Structure 1
Amino acid sequence: MSDEHNPLIPAGYDLVWSIVVVLVIALTIVALVTLARSARRLAATQALVWTVVVLLVPLIGSVAWLTVGRRAAPGDPTT
């Protein structure tokens, strides 16, 4: 057998990182959509800060919004 590999077939880590990136992007989109829906219940400053956090720190910001921020919104029916 030859030690050559097919460059058209990505290595396993390339596939894993691609899946991770797609999941982080999807999570960020979900967080931004729920943030936009909750924006009426938030002060303009709070909505802006949460948006910046979600965009600048996608994984941690999205998880923080979905777990803490959304529940802390005043008048939120999910609490």
Structure 2
Amino acid sequence: MSDPQFTNTSDPRFTQWMKSPDSGPNEGCLYVSGSADGSGDVALVESEAGPDAPIQVVPRRSWSAFLSGARSGAFDHI
């Protein structure tokens, strides 16, 4: 589910930004977007940085590995 209240225009491949529903309506959210070009890349951006903030783009393989680690509790100590 994308968040129509947030946009980031620094890379046109990423248009469907979403955040965790647990983050609530306040600022300071981490948004993610899948690439619309079929590459599988995933972009991340901090909402407080604004609509033209630089984004961090990671390959799909790296994103999948991160999610797997998060689900298994690999980062729970942080």
Which TM-score tier does this pair reach, normalised by the shorter chain? Answer: under 0.3
Higher relative contact order (CA 8 A, sep 6+): 1
TM-score normalised to structure 2 length: 0.27
Normalized per residue, the structure richer in helix is 1
Normalized per residue, the structure richer in strand is 2
TM-score normalised to structure 1 length: 0.26
Please identify the structure whose Cα radius of gyration is greater: 1
